[in-house]
Amino acid sequence: QVQLQESGPGQVKPSETLSLTCTVSGGSISSYYWSWIRQPPGKGLEWIGYIFSNGRTNYNPALKSRVTISVDTSKNQLSLKVSSETAADTAVYYCARAKEGDSFMDVWGKGTTVTVSS
Amino acid sequence: SYVLTQPPSVSVAPGKTARITCGGNNIGIKSVHWYQQKPGQAPVLVIYYDNDRPSGIPERFSGSNSGNTATLTINRVEAGDEADYYCQVWDSSGDHPVFGGGTKLTV
């Protein structure tokens, strides 16, 4: 049973860069799309971007200038970096998996909370 | 970008049928997926490709999709079904997933 586990600093200061990691266990990164999705407190789900196992990426146009997603297949990890953080980036951040050829996410991590505050 | 519209809230009595809608322009030609999110938990896929259920999801959950509206139907609603529900499609023009705003189901 594949499991995803997000990890990160918990809190970042405004203008700093947020770095999160998603560790994939019990399965391979290959042949899947790996998305980052966030949820501000009390609000809905917002897709941030995805990376395919071959390194192809696609980002939410509203965040594209600040976001970088990468994958390390040797460690079975993907990472998310969001620069120039503001309070509006405070959210629970999830990683999620979609099989190649599918348009839905069948496995999600438990999420990690990030607070942007000085 | 493609827009999905959900009612903010739906209330239903235990044992009755809940219907949660998801509106979008000609959504009937797209594949719609539904997620359930309970407080403090990650979303869980409950319906994919309009009306397929992942293993472990009760048969009480079903979906339909036609015209400009997709619907998640929950029969014989239980207290444990109380959650937020999100619809999702794939925006082929931008090549990315799009979520509805979510519906809070109160039992």
- Alpha-carbon distances of B30 from A107, B26, B97, rounded to whole Å: 21, 8, 12
Return phi, psi of residue A51, to 5°: -135, 135
Categorize the per-residue pLDDT at A111 as very low, low, confident or very high, splitting at 50, 70 and 90. very high
pLDDT digits (tens, 9 = 90+) for B38-82: 999 999 999 999 999 999 999 999 999 999 999 999 999 999 999
What is the least distance, in Å, from the CA of B10 to any CA of chain A?
Answer: 16
Cβ pair B99:A103 closer than 8 A: no
CA–CA dist B43, A6 (Å, integer)? 14
Spell out the residues 6+ positions from residue A32 whose beta carbon is closer than 8 angstroms to its own: A52, A53, A97, A98, A99, A100
User: Tell me, what's the pLDDT at A54?
Assistant: 87
Mean pLDDT, rounded, for A75-101: 94
Interface test with A, best of B96, B99, B104 (most A CBs within 10 A): B96
CA distance B33 to chain A (A): 6
Q: Each residue of B78-106: pLDDT tens digit?
A: 999 999 999 999 999 989 999 999 999 99
Residue among A33, A45, A97 with most chain B CBs within 10 A, to mutate: A45
State whether residue B74 is helix, strand or coil. Answer: strand
Q: What is the mean pLDDT of chain A?
A: 95
B42 and chain A: CB distance < 8 Å anywhere? yes
Q: Average pLDDT of B19-42?
A: 98
Q: Which of B1, B42, B98 sits opposite A109 (nearest CB)?
A: B42
Which DSSP category does A17 fall into?
P
Q: Does B36 touch chain A (CB under 8 A)?
A: no
d(C-alpha B29, C-alpha A73), whole Å: 36
